[in-house]
Amino acid sequence: MALLNFITHRNKYSNSEMMTHYPNTTDHYRALQAKSLLYRKTLLKLIYSAKAGHTGGSLSCVDLLNVLYNHVMDITPQNFTQMNRDHYIHSKGHAVEALYAVLADKGFFPWEALETVGKYGSNFVGHPTRDIPGIEQNTGALGHGLAFAVGMALAAKKDGLTNRIFTIMGDGELVEGSIWEASASAAHYKLDNLVAIVDRNTLQISGQTEDVMAMEPLEDKFKAFGYAVCHVDGNDIAALVDLFDQLPFEKGKPNLVLAHTTKGKGISFIEDKAPWHHKVPSETEFEIALRELGLAENDLEVVDGLE
């Protein structure tokens, strides 16, 4: 797993460096952008090595995860056993490779642990489980993350806590009826400590979300269910920072972010292509992808020497 070591050692902002509570400076955005690059390289390497994974959906939500974990949420390995910290539920659990990269960088486990992703006997399986440090809830059966988050937000309110509960759902995931039942509860209990984010990449497993099951107008639907709704470019670090700095959007209402993203963001031949939902890059595609992310020629020699 030379590449992971390589990435870790050469990334100025990797691992334990904390970036929460930074002022909103250009340097801060640059640091976050460097992290997105690190996470993209890592998740591609994980999928390439395991010969399995969800490439498109991991690349679309990785900037969201980056800004949440490195700017917005108060979640660290040190405070993880405490209740009055923020919580995160990865509802679109198939995109676990992006989460693994972020959690390794946050120090929940050593980077080397990722060498076992997808290997027989490893806890690092293809969907999130609570066997992995930093993961709060098993997910992967779509439609359940929001209900978990609503329950946690309600419990936090009842306990008089001041934390927030975040979740990212896929846009294809919205066809699950449980999403809308949970939404009714979120508004009924005035859960302004709930931050529900939709990764609106317009694709689901087999094609365009609107072709598989038309769900628009989403803003109107979520507003009708009682949310304060905001739109954002979900692959724009600065826009995400600006938006999440405004939480809660409206007192007494649950927060809903329609994050407009590109599935496969960052790699030209993966972007906006439905088959890349769970397609694994070939050796050539992997090398081209790394080059597109800006890995220099001599760095690729490290990649060539892998395994």
Ligand X SMILES: Cc1ncc(C[n+]2csc(CCOP(=O)(O)OP(=O)(O)O)c2C)c(N)n1
Q: Which residues bind ligand X (CB under 6 A)?
A: 56-57, 60, 92, 94-95, 140-143, 170-173, 199, 201, 203-205, 263, 277
Handedness of CA 17, 18, 22, 25 (dihedral sign): positive
Tokens of 203: 């694709």
Taking CB atoms, the residue at the shortest distance from ligand X is 170
Closest distance to Mg ion from the beta carbon of 76 (Å):
29
**If you ran DSSP here, which 8-state letter would residue 69 be given?**
I
Closest distance to ligand X from the beta carbon of 202 (Å):
8
Return all residues near 52 (Cβ < 8 A) that are at least 6 apart.
Answer: 118, 126, 278, 280
Other CB atoms within a 10 A radius of the CB of residue 284 amount to 8
Task: Name the residue nearer to Mg ion (CB basis): 226 or 234.
Answer: 234
Closest distance to Mg ion from the beta carbon of 199 (Å):
6
Closest distance to ligand X from the beta carbon of 83 (Å):
29
Alpha-carbon span 217 to 148, nearest angstrom: 25
Binding at 266: pick from Mg ion, ligand X, none (beta carbon under 5-8 Å per type): none
Estimate to the nearest angstrom the gap between the alpha carbon of 290 and the chain centroid. Answer: 20
Task: Name the residue nearer to ligand X (CB basis): 156 or 203.
Answer: 203
Task: Name the residue nearer to ligand X (CB basis): 53 or 57.
Answer: 57
Return all residues near 211 (Cβ < 8 A) that are at least 6 apart.
Answer: none
Task: Name the residue nearer to ligand X (CB basis): 1 or 64.
Answer: 64
Closest distance to Mg ion from the beta carbon of 198 (Å):
9
In whole angstroms, how large is the CA radius of gyration of the chain?
Answer: 18
Binding at 143: pick from Mg ion, ligand X, none (beta carbon under 5-8 Å per type): ligand X
